[in-house]
Structure 1
Amino acid sequence: IHHNPLLLFPSMGATVKHTYQVGMWLPCSDLHEGTPDQRVNVLELFAGKKGVLFGVPGAFTPGCHMAHLPGYVQNFYRFQAKGVDVIACVSVNDAYVMSAWGLAHGAEGKVRMLADPTGAFTQVYSEYSMLVENGLVMKIFVEPDGGGLTCSLAQNILSVI
């Protein structure tokens, strides 16, 4: 089922909970990149593109720092070879922390580091990866315990593209 994302997600406030499922549009929400005043609309970021969006519970947390982000950075060219136009990471840190974390891993030009400081975007899932085409969720993998290192890693999503 395809729906208008503006109708599905009129508000991404902390009191509204939405689950992301295959066949649903990404929300038309703004996240921060680089600094708090630089906003990136998630739906617009993936408009007309094939992409991967992955979420982590926190920058510099052990599993995310050692496995999640490095896997996406190291496999950037493999993603490109499979037609992926954009890879983005979302976490509930502020834009400065996300930027510093990206710099620490050489993510510039490879993985967009998006901050969700209020947690509005990541309120349902903390650790996940999804394949997105033109803003539509095509596949989604959510860590069963909300914080593991199994299905949300780069190698898993690469295997299904």
Structure 2
Amino acid sequence: MIKSGDTIPSVPVKLVDGSGISDTTSDSVLGQGRVVFFSVPGAFTPTCHVNHLPGFIANADKMRAAGVDRIVCAAANDHHVVKAWAEASDALGKIDFIADGNAAQAKAFGLDKDFSGAGMGTRFTRAAMLITDGVVDAVFIEDAPGVSATGAPAILMALEARKK
């Protein structure tokens, strides 16, 4: 599993942002400046859609005020679904998205989880990271259902703690 001090691996992904959809790599998206990265098991899934993503949308300005250059959400869904989710959530322009349709990034980061029992296959585990210039500063993983350690309030607290 990716850990503090690791360099972001380079994995082909689809970037979904205000400009549309483009082919790129994970290290290109996450490798410059101060980045808040969070991963969710699936776009439109109840906890991700209602409890995880909205906190980052609501707190995007606070995170930027704390020195964050980019906020990126990754989901192991195809880029069409991720784009529809970003648009439906009114997140574009505030958050960029990585569509990891084959869970290649999830696996490369060691953040993959088997959700086959729920009929969803391999997905990202619920996680968050603080990254500076392509190097991981901190990793947060949920160890139980729900959103606590990886939600926007926890990440804002971690950003504040690092300023001191």
TM range (shorter): 0.7 to 0.9
TM-score by length of 1: 0.82
Deviations 1:29-87 (A, max 9, x none): 1211249x721222122333101110000001111000111111110100110110011
Residue correspondence of structure 1 range 109-148 to structure 2 within 5 A: 109-123=93-107, 124-125=110-111, 126-145=125-144, 147-148=145-146
Pick the aligned partner of 1:54 from 16, 34, 38: 38
Q: Does 1:29 align with 2:28?
A: no
User: How many pairs align?
Assistant: 142
8 A Cα contact 2:35 2:132, kept in partner: yes
Any idea what SS the aligned residue of 1:160 has?
helix
Q: Which amino acid aligns with 2:134?
A: G
Q: Which amino acid aligns with 1:151?
A: A
Cα distance in 2 for partners of 1:148, 1:22 equals 23
Structure with bigger strand share is 2
TM-score by length of 2: 0.81
Poorly superposed stretches of 4+, deviation over 6 Å = none
Cα distance in 2 for partners of 1:48, 1:122 equals 20
Any idea what SS the aligned residue of 1:131 has?
strand
Cα distance in 2 for partners of 1:20, 1:82 equals 24
Shift in alpha-carbon separation, 1:33–1:47, aligned structure 2, 3 A: closer
Partner of 1:92: 76
Any idea what SS the aligned residue of 1:40 has?
strand
**Where does structure 2 lack aligned partners over 5 or more consecutive residues?**
112-124, 160-164
Structure with bigger helix share is 2
Q: Which amino acid aligns with 2:158?
A: V
Pick the aligned partner of 1:149 from 144, 147, 150: 147
Cα distance in 2 for partners of 1:64, 1:114 equals 15
